[in-house]
Amino acid sequence: MSYQIIDGKAISEQIKEECRKKVAAYKEKGIEITLAVIQVGADPASSVYVRNKKRACEFCGMTSLSYELPEETTHEELLTLIRKLNADDKVNGILVQLPLPKHIDEDLVIQAIDPKKDVDGFHPQSVGALCIGQPGFVSCTPAGIIELLKRSNIEIAGKECVVIGRSNIVGKPMALLLLRENGTVTVCHSRTKDLKEVTKRADILIVAIGKPKFITGDYVKEGAVVIDVGIHRNEDNKLCGDVDFESVAEKTSAITPVPGGVGPMTIAMLMHNCVGSVELI
């Protein structure tokens, strides 16, 4: 069967370009957009993500303020900075790069961010708004997956959608977004009894299981659309996903590659959220 490779790189560039134009239009009206990026400690993977986020801001014409705090920063010091940024009218978005060092309570930090500046969409108020269909920020990775589907002309309404994974940043908001798009949604997790039986029903299968190449061809229905959220490095230091692309692709009608699928969409949607933050001031 021939299948479509969903080009996340191209779609993410389209979105960033749209953001760039909107930022320029805001600038003409005298409105500047500023994102504050906070990193605690020097985890190398986090540093790469933070650098890429700042680069994307630059591309889109937004200002990024960088707060690189030492590993031993206390919970209270971090909260004091967040409160200062909450009160600063020049700051539209606040992003705290996760994971945080173990001595800091991640939930309390997320809750300290003003929901109007919660461009990551992790605040309980943002998640609640998504749940009951009110406006608010949506977690970037699942929001990016909806854009990938829509911009690849893949219909969601009425489809059997199966999400593997129930994390707060991917699985749960993904399920809510698919529901908002009128999909029939099933969520699988580590306690699901017969995973294969469920995934084989899926017209659209979203895989966020966090295990390299876990999903093989026998989990997938002929003609399904498969979205691979996973990012791992294999023995040869090459990137791979949660899906075994070689055995799955032939069975699908469309599939995202790793790299170049979901990955680039996360930052593009962060830019989209930053632009959207202007309307919430």
Which residues make up the interface to ligand NAD (CB under 6 A)? 141, 164-167, 169-171, 188-190, 192, 195, 208-210, 229-231, 242, 262-263, 266
36 vs 148, beta carbon nearer ligand NAD? 148
Q: Which residue in 7, 117, 118, 120 is the catalytic one?
A: 120
Q: Which residue in 16, 53, 213, 251 is the catalytic one?
A: 53
**Contacts with 262 (C-beta within 8 Å, 6 or more apart), sequence order:** 8, 141, 144, 145, 148, 227, 228, 229, 256
Closest approach of ligand NAD to the CB of residue 209, in Å: 4
52 vs 86, beta carbon nearer ligand NAD? 52
Instruction: Examine the residue annotation and report whether 111 is marked as an active-site residue of this protein.
Output: no
73 vs 266, beta carbon nearer ligand NAD? 266
Amino acid letter, 32? E
92 vs 139, beta carbon nearer ligand NAD? 139
Closest approach of ligand NAD to the CB of residue 207, in Å: 8
Q: Which residue in 16, 39, 97, 159 is the catalytic one?
A: 97
Closest approach of ligand NAD to the CB of residue 55, in Å: 16
Instruction: Examine the residue annotation and report whether 244 is marked as an active-site residue of this protein.
Output: no
The string of DSSP letters for 51-113 reads HHHHHHHHHHT-EEEEEEE-TT--HHHHHHHHHHHHH-TT--EEEEPSSPPTTS-HHHHHHHS
Instruction: Examine the residue annotation and report whether 53 is marked as an active-site residue of this protein.
Output: yes
For 138: left if phi > 0, alpha if psi spans -120 to 50, otherwise beta; the answer is: beta
**Contacts with 164 (C-beta within 8 Å, 6 or more apart), sequence order:** 171, 188, 189, 195, 199, 205, 206, 207, 208, 209, 215, 242
Closest approach of ligand NAD to the CB of residue 76, in Å: 27
What are the catalytic residues? 53, 97, 120
